[in-house]
Chains A and B, each alone.
Chain A
């Protein structure tokens, strides 16, 4: 699978590492700060050292930057930056302009999340996902919660044994 990830924070870096280790082709886009040399080290620091995919410095809502990241042959795009609006814009560009089949955007405002879900963009909020998981663990869905938790802890263990990527 060809995957483009916009936003390489902790979640983006973690997911890019997982998919890359499974043999998928992953490109990661993160915005350049005013000092590109420093920003590159800072922003891609959450990628594991073994990451073999592409890293692109640029604005994930810019068509050219997305083309560089291989959006035209991507099977999925995930937008995971800190900004709900930027995530929604990148996801819509991928879906409506480049015809990417699966797009998922992190949207923390529940109203926006619901509105865009109705428009065909899969959205999730960290708050509801984490809250639901914790609720499941404490309540009747104990098993679901424990399975998820076990998976997460296993991935975490893999990740901790790898030093951060020096790029």
Chain B
């Protein structure tokens, strides 16, 4: 596949390297000449020294034939505009934005950029996964749709404990994809009884996240 990576900072550099090692074709766009030269020395002539937030640079980098563009600069406003330009001008089928301020994830979604990666949120999720009970975490958004995967742990005294999956009052469009019980992944259907400590995997429309939380925790 062909990927355009906007920004050759630490994230952009290592991402490009990993994509190359996986056998993909990559172009990195980097505005800073010294940084561009450095990356060129390391990774070969896949670097374009230009501002990625300019339409012309994106055209030259071949965004219109790219399978995906990933904007990973340290500036949220820049990442937003890079992705919007690629999506709306070059019709790049898939655009992914790095979001530095996690509050901007919802802003980006509202403005047409569905796929965002927030390292702050990823770290928060890792920390929260260590919590003993009652954890509720949206794990990831699902590409190309307004849905996400949520993991939640059934806690003592909550409505679902001891009840069946079918009796959960999940919002429409949400479904239980499986359960991790005592470290083992198991299939869940309407009749499956939930136990305290079960980790439930729920696929849900992103907009209904709070209703899922309510169904699981009351």
Contact = CB atoms under 8 A, between A and B. Distances in A.
Given A63-B103, A89-B81, A119 B75 contact: no
B193 interface: no
A61 B78 CA distance: 12
A97 B85 contact: no
Nearest to A97: B110
A45 interface: no
A163 interface: no
Main secondary structure of the interface of A (DSSP, over half): helix
Contacts, number: 54
Interface in A112-129: 112, 115, 118-119
A96 B112 CA distance: 10
24 contacts: A61-B77, A61-B104, A61-B107, A84-B81, A85-B53, A85-B75, A85-B78, A88-B77, A88-B80, A88-B81, A89-B77, A89-B81, A89-B111, A93-B107, A93-B111, A96-B110, A97-B107, A109-B53, A109-B55, A112-B53, A112-B55, A112-B85, A115-B84, A115-B88
B89 interface: yes
Nearest to A110: B55
A139 B80 CA distance: 40
Interface of B: 53-56, 75-78, 80-81, 84-85, 88-89, 101, 103-104, 107, 110-111
A86 B110 CA distance: 16
A162 interface: no
B85 A63 contact: no
A23 interface: no
Interface in A41-93: 61-63, 83-86, 88-89, 92-93
Interface residues of A, number: 19
> Which 5 residue pairs are nearest across A and B when measured between Cβ atoms?
A111-B55, A85-B77, A89-B77, A85-B81, A86-B77
Interface of A: 61-63, 83-86, 88-89, 92-93, 96-97, 109, 111-112, 115, 118-119
Nearest to A118: B88
Given A61-B77, A61-B104, A97-B110, 8 more contacts: A61-B107, A84-B53, A85-B80, A89-B77, A111-B55, A112-B54, A112-B85, A119-B88
A86 B76 CA distance: 9
B103 to A, nearest CB: 7
B85 A115 contact: yes
A90 to B, nearest CB: 8
Given A63-B103, A96-B110, A89 B54 contact: no
A108 B2 CA distance: 30
B54 A111 contact: yes
Contacts of B55: 109, 111-112, 115
Nearest to A89: B77
B77 A63 contact: no
A88 B55 CA distance: 14
A62 B77 CA distance: 11
